[in-house]
Amino acid sequence: MRFCVRPESPATCRPRLKSNLKKKFQFVFEGIAKAGNPTLLNQIYTELYITEGGTGEVNDEHEVRQIETASRKPVRPETTIRQEDIFKASPGRDGPIRTVMTKGVAGIGKTVLTQKFTLDWAEDKANQDIQFTFPFTFRELNVLKERKFSLVELVHHFFTETKEAGVCRFDQFQVVFIFDGLDECRLPLDFHNTEILTDSTSVDVLLTNLIRGKLLPSARLWITTRPAAASQIPPECLGSVLVPQCLCVECSRERNVLTVEQIVQSLHVCLFHSVFDE
């Protein structure tokens, strides 16, 4: 039989979790910042202009051309949603949102947005009604493709503070799971044929049950992705889809989210199309 430790254990491990998250996310190493000379996230962060709406449908158009298409659209009023308000219900909705997807092209600031949310929580600046925030990337989850975990074991694997404190259940707490980079996911997410399991299982089954709300339905989820991968998540599993708008050159520099590699890749695609489309 599995026992949980004293009820005060979450309060014991939460400060350690916040401290480690602050160390992890307080600096940005992309953009003009170089290794050994990081930039404080709080110094360069500015609010993203994002609109609520869109779907999980596939957009086969290359991201560079998506930017061009968006730039030609008529200007319309945009809703600025601060990162601390991601899960708040918009006018006309009842209650908070469980699952949010942020969908946008590479370099637009999706990852930085999640980092700022996590950092503000860790620094006690926002969302203090949340007891635990657990940020994951699909890239690191891919490595565990052949292993089996329960949800608690997966959290323990990445956030050892919870294991050391003996926290063995999260249904009595307000928890946020962040899954960054769905487009990098190499797990076979199957929302139609996956059985409902809550015990130790493969990571993909664990994630699909969590996203479907069959596992820890009280949790809140935030998924980020490029447009082409958005359809991996069924629309009925999403409470809100947020779409950051394209950045101007000045904003891109200010936010430090476009890397040289991303720019070179985009230029390469543009040159490829200019040669072979003639």
Domains of the chain: 10-29+38-271 (3.40.50.300)
Half-sphere exposure of 173 (CA within 13 A, CB side): 21
Do the Cβ atoms of 150 and 199 come closer than 8 Å? Answer: yes
Residue, of 124 and 68, whose pLDDT is higher: 124
pLDDT score of 278: 47
d(CA 117, CA 125): 10
Which phi and psi angles does 28 have, rounded to 5°?
A: -115, 135
What is the average pLDDT across 240-264? 57
pLDDT score of 275: 46
What pLDDT digit, counting tens, does each position of 185-225 carry? 999 999 988 787 767 999 999 999 999 999 999 999 999 99
pLDDT score of 13: 92
Instruction: State the chain's mean pLDDT as an integer.
Output: 80
d(CA 185, CA 155): 18
Going by pLDDT thresholds of 50, 70 and 90, the confidence category of residue 92 is: low
Residue, of 6 and 56, whose pLDDT is higher: 6
Residue, of 147 and 69, whose pLDDT is higher: 147
The percentage of the chain sitting over the pLDDT mark of 90, rounded to a whole number, equals 55
